[in-house]
Amino acid sequence: MKQAKAGIIFIIVLLFLTTTIYFFFKEVMIENPAICKYCHFIRPYYNKWERSTHKMVPCLKCHEYGPFNALSGQMRFIAGTYNPRPLTNVPDTKCLQAGCHDRRLIESKVSLSKWNIVFDHKPHFTEHRKRINLHCRSCHSDIVQGEHMKVSINVCFLCHLSVESDTEDKKVCTTCHRELKKVVFYRGEAFNHMKPPVKDYTCSRCHTSVKIGEGIVSEKKCFFCHVDRTGKYSDVEFIHGQHIGEKQIDCFFCHEFIEHGNIKIARDINGIIKTK
């Protein structure tokens, strides 16, 4: 009888201690952002978070992580299979939750005064863009130096400067730049954008060096994560679906940068083109 009673007390104490330890790790340890940097190799990201507009938002308000993830990570670390560069996941529902950015798709247009551009979230978020389903982190990423979850202008360039044909050239430029409806003078010569001297002109016919870089993905980048797995390398739609739609991998984890050039003006010998 005494042994049974002792056994029951032991089980109760064990359950109490287990529950206490669980909630201590969940509510105290894991909820504290400062704790994250001691186990994960995220100190640069943590430092950027401390300086960002999200500095009052704890990690788990956005990131999906819990005690079982921590336990799993410890087991994989002991077994030698832990990835020292773990990829994070922030579901769109976290960004759009009440009290955060829940009105982003309603008040979808924002003015980016730095570049004099009005950006509309809604079509980027609700429509296919280059056969890709975008999510919040497609543009708001960790790659911006000194910031956390800010937009890198290079992400815009990667999509909008990847022109597949000359017919898209003008349309791509006027997505961000308003087409001038007045005569402009360059080196004393007048030019009317509405009545160009050449039929079916494109912006790049005069404005050269608009794009620097091609934003290509080297096949060698695949081996950074996958060992001898490049069978789907040419299936762009599948690759984007898995890496962007499922894993939320930053574009420049794979792609090379594309930069917007100085937009030098090409000059004309006979009304055609000669680069100055």
What pLDDT score does 24 carry? 67
Mean pLDDT by runs of 10 across the 276 residues of the chain is: 73 81 66 79 84 85 80 81 73 88 86 77 83 83 64 82 62 72 75 71 73 84 78 83 82 85 54 38
Of the chain, the end-to-end C-alpha distance in Å amounts to: 100
pTM of the model: 0.66
